[in-house]
Amino acid sequence: MDQDILYHLALGSGSHDLRRMFGDVKFVCMGGTPKRMEQFAYYIMKEIGHKLPAGTTLLDISQYSYRYSMFKVGPVLSISHGMGIPSVGILLHEVIKLMYHAKVKDPIFFRIGTCGGIGIEGGTVVISEEAVDGMLRPYLELPVLGKLLQRPAKLDRQLARDLKALAHPEDPYDTIIGKTMCTYDFYEGQGRLDGAFCEFTENEKMEYLSKVHKAGVANIEMESLSFAALTHHAGIKSAVVCVTFLDRLKGDQVMAPKEVLDEWQMRPQQLISRYITRYLQRKGRLSVEGHGSMCVKSPRRYKLVQQESENYD
């Protein structure tokens, strides 16, 4: 092809110098909302001692896509992936291609998120050892050309252990490793009674949640299956770290105050930050100058990519 247009990132291999923009990336951190990932970008910038040039600010590199937000802080990319398996899958396809075009060597991908716990209190940090679907199957099932494709949803076990080792004894919360169940729906798929439709009883719900709990499932969310399957298929080391907002064995609705939820959301970010900081310290790469700015190879193609991303549905 003449150039590879990454529609949903508003980037292109012919319009942007992707190697110059992203060639130094080591960590790709993904989370649900643009606001959360912008906050993480500023947080990790402070933690690794990254300095922006005077008079500049963080740039949302994918602002013209109107779909995802992407911020670059030295060797760290912070990207919003939206909600659910389709959204994170689309993003991963394009970010994996971005890593290829930028000639990035051995990147590490993290999903930083929120979830519902099963048998554990709100505020607990869960590091996923593997992802399973609502039938407890450890693979992503995807219809491709009329056939069902199955991709194993594997995460890096050593990376999970390394992250667990960074939990501090003085942390006022527990950090655990467990299976993560990934569903295609927030309400019926997760056994909630408070959706627009509910065709099962509370007893049936509790029987199901108890079953998955006994199978080693610690939490439920909606992205890990795709995240694990696609990163494993690409040979990329990856981990999923989420904080629980409630114990689903005790209810369906999140009742904690906003300020409490805001503090809980920082907990996975802190753990990932500890890993990144330790890695960069060992490599002597802290206090990096520069930031994620646009490096345009072809102004004409750059404008075309902008227009394609703005109009693409």
Q: Which residues are annotated as a binding site for phosphate?
A: 67, 111-114
Residue 144 burial (CB count, 10 A): 7
Q: Name the CA radius of gyration of the chain, rounded.
A: 20
Is residue 192 classed exposed, middle or buried when 0-12, 13-18 and 19+ CB atoms within 10 A define those classes? Answer: middle
**Could you tell me how many helices (H) and strands (E) the chain has, helices first?**
8, 12
Angstrom distances, CA of residue 288 to CA of 54, 75, 80, 280: 14, 8, 23, 10
Q: How far, rounded to the nearest angstrom, does the alpha carbon of residue 153 sit from its chain's CA centroid? A: 14
Structure tokens at 217: 């499932």
37 vs 16: CA distance, rounded Å: 23
Angstrom distances, CA of residue 270 to CA of 35, 125, 166, 246: 17, 11, 10, 20
To the nearest 10°, report the CA torsion of 94, 100, 103, 105. Answer: 90
Q: What residues form DSSP beta bridges with 260?
A: none
Q: Which residues are annotated as a binding site for substrate?
A: 190, 192
Q: Which residues are annotated as a binding site?
A: 67, 111-114, 190, 192
Phi, psi of 23 (to 5 degrees): -65, -20
Cα–Cα–Cα angle for 67, 243, 96, rounded to 5 degrees: 40
Cβ partners under 8 Å of residue 273, min gap 6 = 43, 44, 47
Structure tokens at 102: 């930028």
